[in-house]
Every structure is written in structure tokens, then in C-alpha cells.
Amino acid sequence: MMVRAGRVPQASLGAGASRRSLLLLVVPLTFLALFFFYPLLTILRLGLSAVGESQPLALSSVLNPLGFTLWQASLSTLLTFAVGLPGAYLFARFEFPGKRLLRALTTLPFVLPTVVVAVAFNALLGPRGWLNLGLMALSGASVPPIQFINTLWAILAAHVFYNTAVVLRLVGNAWAHLDPRLVHAARVLGASPWRAWREVTLPLLRPSIVAALVLVFLFDFSSFGVVLMLGGPRFATLEVAIYTQALHLLNLPLAALLSLIQIACTLTLTTLYARLASRLSTPSAPRAAEEASRRPVGPRQRLAAVLLVGLLLVLLVAPLAALAARSIARLEPNRGQQTSVSAGLTLSYYRELFVNRREALFYVPPIAAVRNSLGYAAATVVIALALGLPAASALARTSRFGRPVDALLMLPLGTSAVTLGLGFVVALDTPPLDLRASPLLVPLAHSLVALPFVVRTLQPALASIPERLRMAAATLGASPWRVWREVDLPIVARAVSVAAAFAFTISMGEFGATSLVARPEYPTVPIAIFRFLSQPGALNYGQALAMATLLMGLTLAGILIIERLRLPGVGEF
Amino acid sequence: MQRNKAFFIGLAWLSFVLGSCMPAVPGPGSTPAPRTLNIMTHDSFDASTSLIEAFEQSHNVRLNILKSGDSGAALNKAILSKDVPLADVFYGVDNAFLSRALGSGIFDAYDAPALATIPSAFQLDPQHRALPVDYGDVCLNYDKAYFASHNLSLPLSLDDLTQPEYRGLLVVEDPATSSPGLAFLLATVAHFGDPGFLDFWRALRANGVAVVDGWETAYYTNFSAASGHGPQPMVVSYASSPPAEVVFADPPISEPPTGTLTGADMCFRQIEFVGILHGTPNRGLAEAFVDFMLSTPFQEDMPLKMFVFPVNPQAGLPEVFSRFAEIPAQPATLTPEEIALHRDAWIQAWHQAVLE
């Protein structure tokens, strides 16, 4: 079907484009049907079929977690944007030394399994964290002055820590490619900087802002480990309630009911988003990022840049640094003195990682865990891009199937990982789909989580390409393939590398679904960390921190490499 | 015990050598390709490589060990997949969930010969569908240095914990999300009865008990004697935790920094069971594997791998266990039926009394 956009009448262009979009959507939708809807519906039907047998449930056991889930997700999203938007501005408009490294560092929180984030926050803000130790040494107090763990603040701080990367990446990327001449024109015409931002920049950024808003909200909405470990037992989101009911109380009917409510909320949200998004997108000629960003000029800009870098360092990098510092520090309490702790430096936790001291069958050599993690991550990048590119292209061009498909693609993000994991066990049990014990299940599950990010990153970039550029190329005789290669690809290449970085980091850090579907002979780094933390002893704790530090280093290297990759012959936009 | 192990390995080696002496000609008469036996278990499972390999060689089998999450998740997966079982043998259901497992019909009975030597106190399923493998006591661990430096005497009973001198010194896990948390709740139910246990918990709450989601947080964040150096010197953990502190010490230590409180009814005994999954096509091999788990070499290997105690009385304990693990003389117990009947209601009542 060779439709040359420039030569056909408008009506048949629409039909042709629709048909082509439908073709592009076949593979991603089949994937969702097989690995998301089929297992999900199977487990929900199984759970709900037994509702009648279980005891009648109190309305409060549903309403309380639902109310708290919405409340904390709204607050977390608000705070994440309060940090993320200025940060996105910083990365889009300013050049400063170490920018690339800082950008990679701010993505790192995304990879950390919640077990490790809980340890990192403890190492920084816990009763014996660096901050409390310092304050106690300064003031001579015997009681830690900061009570942080098991408060709502701990949940909110961890959510900001996790999700600011989403805003920085999605909004920052769109911002970097805005044509700065538009703002310049507005300023020349007499608009104040604030008015230029409100009336030129903001409307153009709105698609990516709304996309980031929805992704962050969904992440907070289905948050589980953070709430459980940092919030403590007084706080329960829907996801925590599902986990408790399904895996500890073995009350599948209630778990299924809660999952259903959770999915209904998610679907409402993603449908609203899809309606909104289809009206927001404004094509504008994107520019190369280098055109718009420059070193801060003047004391005010310099101060702003320094403050923003400082804010990001404190909020996003300090917990990581505290964790890394703890992995080489050996803390010994002075005998019986709860308050004072003396520290020494040691590399023994790292050395110990490489020793199978107890001839254990399930000893995990760090190299093997790293290899497994990298293998799964590479497979996830390939699968997520292979599914995400056609899906995003289709969504960028048409609004006819766009809305419902857009809403469906985001559904996995706001769906209980516990429910889906159990769904895999029940549904994928007959050949040719007997994948329950297949190593492929891990990248498949990771791709489900990564796909919405990949699509959300690619789609605005693709949608921003003015159709007239493609038409002009076609008029000049370029084939559709050549149009794609020489118009679309250079513009989206940057977005592709951001999407790949997202898929890579999501896979490196994912723990919840992995622990339910992974094969024990291919443990990932997060699983190895968890194994250490589940036994007492200073060595286990130290090795868990050492392994987590290795994970951070590895992911940092991965992100930096992916960002430097250039497609041959394609200049960056 | 070392001799037993050596003998076992020697036997396995011999059978392997004899096996390989057969004519190495492909075709009929040669050793058939090894079959696969699937073992479904929880994430804490571990064993010595040499033992597993010896079993594999002597039975010409490849053991495929499917770790399936924590004990609740693993059991749930086994129950959900019972029509098309994922494995031949399931190991790791404990007495708190035993009724649930038996009621769902996932296990077939097996009268293992080794049951004759295992004390009847461990044999909670008279039909032998679930066979006891190991046990462990969920107990309070305490920070020795803290109690010594504050000249504080150790609490000798559950009631002592509500005394003002222990105010704010204990951290426990939420029984809804933690297996040791549930076990400790069950100990209080066994001691005070229902609804008396709720009065105890209200008093404990008034005395500043800290509650966290799970063992990892309680031990590594809140407990003062562990690496996190938290604020509470008493934690709900295991009687096997002090030996583990010695095994995983850095730098090496000769005495654990923690001890176990073993007063009457202060500990709850968890017993773990193995069963042959209904519908296995490898019944003979599955029986052999269950026998292997109950045999002395495996039973002696468990303490240092999974930090549990053997049910087989012929199995000796490693030195670090016999020196530092205090086994309570009178652990609290409840029958699996009682637990299955009231567990959810107890947890809910606990939540109201302690958290709301």
C-alpha cells in the first residue's frame, strides 16, 4: 500500500492513514491481549467466582485504601512536579559542567528496587542515618531529632525521589526541542518572561506535561513497596491491600475485587487522558537541542541554575550517595552506647560478594547476576522498542483508534503486579503458551511496564513533526521509507534513546513482578540484594548494600552509553 | 555427622562411577538421559551443592528448583496451578497455612519410612500428606550490650513486656504482611486466649511498641544490635538469628551481639512441611526426594543453609547452633485447625487494637 501523501486527495489520505495505523497496532495489541488481558481476566474470573463463598466484606475495607491511595498519589504527583518542572527547565535551557552526568544520576532512582530505596532513605534519614548521627553529634542529644521513617513524608519523599526522572525526561526533552525563536518573538513583541512562558511555552509543552502527569500519578497510584516499607503498617494503598489479601491472607476474592476497583480507576484516568491528549498536540518545527541551551548569563540566571542543581542533588542524589557510603563503611556501636557509633572504611563487603563461603546451591556470583540483569534489560529494550515504535507512530497520526488504544496501553502501569503475576501462573499454563517456567517471562513482564513509557516518550516527538515536512519530502519524490528515514528518524532519534534508557532502567530495577515470575537459576541483581537482606548478620547487610551500589554503577554506565549511541548518518535533533 | 555426609557422598560417587563403567556405546543399554524433577519452594530454600549433586547422580535426575516468592506466594501459586501442576514436590508450607494447603487437595499422601523416627509432635497431618522437615522458633531477640549497659534485667514473660522499664524498647512486625509477625501474634493468642490477647496488645501499645511492615525493616532498620543500629533493643526474630549473626559477622566475632528470650510462651514454633503434589507423573522420584530431605545428611545441612532446625532427631547440630541457639523449653503452639479458623479475625482485631 504505497500512499504518496502529497498526491492523494485529502479524504483517501485519512482512510489510508487509518488503515496503516491499524496495521501498525496489530503487534502491540496482540502482545497486550496475550500477556496482559488474558492472564488478568483469567485470575479475576477465578477470584470473583468465589466471592459468594467468602464472608461479607465491610465497605471500609475497600473505601479506606481507595481514599488513601488517591490522596497520597495526588500529593506525591504535585510535589514531583514542583521539583521536576524547574529541573526540566534547567536541563532544557542551560549548559553547565557535568550536565550529562547529573541527568544520568537523576534517572538512577528509577532503577532501585524498593527494598534498596528503603535502606537508602534509612542510611540518610533513619534513626541511625547520616543526618541524625550528625545532628546528634552536634547537639549532644541522645534521641534522634528527626523522625522520618513510617510517616506520610517518607512515602511522599520516596515518590518524588522515584518519579522526578519521569518529569525531567519527558518534559525536559520536549522543552529542549522547542523553537526558542517563538519565545524570542513574543519577548520582542513586548511580552513579559512570565507571559511568554504562559502563552507560548506552556501550551507547546502541555502534551508532554500531561503525559508525565498521568505516568507519575499512575506510578504513585499503584505504589506498593514504598508504602509498605517506608510508610509502615498504618498506611495501606489499594496495591498493599491486594498484596496482603492475595499473598498473606490468601483471600483471592477480596484481592480480585480490589484489583477490579484499581483497574476501573486506572482505566477512567487513562481514558480521560487519551481524550485530553488528542486535543492538545500542536505540531511545531522541532529544533536541535543545542540551539536553545546555553550557559547561564548574569547573576540571577547563575543563581537559579546553582539552586536547581543543588535541589536535585539533595533530593535525588543524596540518598544514592548515602547508600554507596554505607556500603564501604563499617559502623560499630560503642559498647552499649545506643547513641554513638564509630565508623571505619572497609571493602570487605565487596570482596565477600565473590566468595561462596558456605558452598550454597543458591550462591549468586555477582558477575552472573549482572549478566542476567543485563540480558533481561537488553531483551526488554528490544521488545519494548519493537512494540512501542509502531504503536507510537500509529498514535501520532490518527485519532480514530488512537484514544481507546492509548488508554489501553497505559493500563498495565496502574494494574496490580501481584494480581498480574498470579494471572501469569494460572493463564499461561497450556502449550504453546506454557511460559510459566520460561526465562522469557521476565522481559515480557518488564516490557509491559516499560511500554507506556516508551510510547509516551516517542509519541509526542513523532506528533511534533509537521505533516508538511513529510509531504514536502514526498512531493520531491521520496518513498515512504525514505521519508521515514530522513524526516521522522532524525527527529525521533533522541526520543528513541530516551525511551531505550527508560526501558533499560525499568528492567534493571524491577523486583515485584520479577520475584513472582523469575527462574531462580537466573537471579537478577535486585533478587540477589533481596536474598542478602532476608538473613541476619553484618555481612549480609553489607553485601546487600555493596550489590545495590554495583547496580547503581552499572545502570549509570548503561544510561550514559545509551545516550551516546548515535545512529550512523543521523544527526541528533 | 561428617562421617555420615562423607558416606553418603561416597555412596553417590560409587554409584556414579559404577554407572559410568557401563559400556559407553550409544543406543539401547546405555544410561538413559536424566529425568527432571521439579521442586516448588519459597525463596529461602538453599542447600549444599554437593548434596544436591549427589542426589541427582544417584537417581539419574536433574533437580529443577522453582523458587516461587515468599512462603505465602509460593503456596498460593501451588494452589492456583493445581490442575496443571508446576512441580512434583512442594516444600515450605508451615503450620499457619497447613490447613489451607491440605484443604485445597494439592498433596498426595506418602508414608515415608523416616516418619517412624520423627517425633509425633511435629507430625501435624495424621494422613501424611504433609511431612514435617524442619522447625524454627519465632522469638524475641535482644541487644546484649544495651541490656548490660543499662543494668536492665531481661523480660522473663510476655507480661513483663508491658512493664514501664521496657517502654519503647520492642519492635514487632505487622501480622498481616509478615510471617514472624503472625507467629508472634499467635504466641500471644496461645498464652492469653481470645480475646485476652487484645488486652495484652493494648497494654503493649500503651508501652510504646513499634510496628513495621516486615522482618527486613524490623531487624535492619529498627533493631539496635543489627547493622542498621536502630532505636529498639528487642525485635521479633528467630531463635536461629544469634548463630546467624556469628556466621555472617564482619569482622569475625566469637559471641553473638544478640540473645534470645525463651520464657514460657514467648516463642511460637513454626514447622515446615513437604508434600508430593497431586498428579505428578514422577511419583517414585518424588518419594525418593522426600526421603532425601528427611535423611540425616540433608537434615544436618539445613541449619547453616536455611537457619532452621532438623526434625530428624538423628541429625546433629553444627557447633555454632549448639552453642548460640537457645531452644525454648515451652514454645507456644496452636493447632493448624484453630489457626485456619480464626487467623483472619485475629489479625483484624489486632489491627484495630494496635494501629487504629
B123 φ, ψ (degrees, to nearest 5): -90, 85
Overall average pLDDT of the A99-113 stretch: 84
DSSP B20-53: HHS---SSTTSPPPPEEEEEEE-TT---BHHHHH
Q: State how far the alpha carbon of B269 is from the alpha carbons of A347, B78, B132, in Å.
A: 38, 24, 13
Contacting residues for A331 by C-beta, under 8 A, at least 6 apart = A128, A341, A342, A343, B227, B229
Matching residue, cell 494503598: A237
> Domain B136-268+329-354 is of which CATH architecture?
3-Layer(aba) Sandwich (3.40)
User: Residue B326 CB: number of other CB atoms within 10 A?
Assistant: 16
CB contact (8 A) between residue B213 and residue A341: no
Residue in this structure with the C-alpha cell 510535589, named with its chain if needed: A79
A5 pLDDT tier (thresholds 50, 70, 90): very low
Cβ distance B248 to A536 less than 8 Å, yes or no, reads yes
Chain B residues whose beta carbon lies within 8 Å of the beta carbon of residue A249: 176, 343-344, 347
User: What is residue A11's predicted lDDT score, i.e. its pLDDT?
Assistant: 38
pLDDT of A486-515, one tens digit each?
888 887 887 888 888 888 888 887 776 666
**More confidently predicted of B247 and A346:** B247
- Could you give the maximum distance between any two Cα atoms of chain A, in Å? 85
- Cβ-Cβ contacts under 8 Å for B12 (sequence gap 6 or more): B53, B54, B55, B57, B58
pLDDT digits (tens, 9 = 90+) for B38-61: 999 988 888 999 999 999 999 999
Q: Which 3 state secondary structure label does DSSP give A381?
A: helix
**A360, pLDDT greater than 80:** no
Full-model pTM: 0.81
Q: Where are the beta strands (DSSP E) in A452-521?
A: none
CB contact under 8 Å between B145 and A535, yes or no, is no
Is the predicted pLDDT of residue A353 greater than 90, yes or no? no
Write the pLDDT tens digit of every residue in B57-97.
999 999 988 887 778 778 888 888 888 888 999 999 999 88
Q: How confident is the model at residue A340 (pLDDT cuts 50, 70, 90)?
A: very low
With cut-offs at 50, 70 and 90, classify the pLDDT of residue A234.
confident
pLDDT of B293 > 90? The answer is yes
Do the chains contact at A430 and B70, CB–CB below 8 Å?
Answer: no
| Domain-wise residue ranges, chain B | 2-135+271-323, 136-268+329-354
CB pairs < 8 Å spanning A and B: 184
On chain B, the residues whose CB falls within 8 A of the CB of A149 are 221
The superfamily in CATH containing domain A20-51+58-331+343-564 is MetI-like (1.10.3720.10)
pLDDT in tens, B145-192: 999 999 999 999 999 999 999 999 999 999 988 889 999 999 999 999
- CATH 3.40.190.10 applies to domain B2-135+271-323: yes
Average pLDDT over every residue of B225-237: 87
Out of A165-174, A392-401, A486-495, A520-529, give the one with best mean pLDDT.
Answer: A165-174
Tell me what pLDDT residue B11 has. Answer: 45
| Confidence at residue A408, expressed as pLDDT on a 0 to 100 scale | 86
Contact across the interface for A244 and B177, Cβ inside 8 Å: yes
Domain ranges of chain A: 20-51+58-331+343-564
Extended beta strands in B251-330, E state = 258-261, 268-277, 309-310
Nearest-angstrom CA–CA distance, B271 and B256: 25
B98 — pLDDT class (breaks 50, 70, 90): very high
pLDDT exceeds cutoff 80 at A290: no
How large is the ipTM? 0.76
With cut-offs at 50, 70 and 90, classify the pLDDT of residue A571.
very low
Average pLDDT, chain A: 80
Chain A contact set for B219 (CB, 8 A): 536
Phi and psi, residue B299, nearest 5°: -60, -35
Predicted pLDDT at A335: 41
Residues of chain A found within 8 Å of residue B182, distances taken between Cβ atoms: 248
- Interface contact A115-B72, CB threshold 8 A: no
Residue with cell 561428617: B2
Residues in chain A with CB shorter than 8 Å from the CB of B84 are 429-430
Residue A59 binned pLDDT confidence (cut-offs 50, 70, 90): confident
- Which among A149, A233, A538 is the nearest to B250, CB-wise? A538
| pLDDT over 80 at B259, yes or no | yes
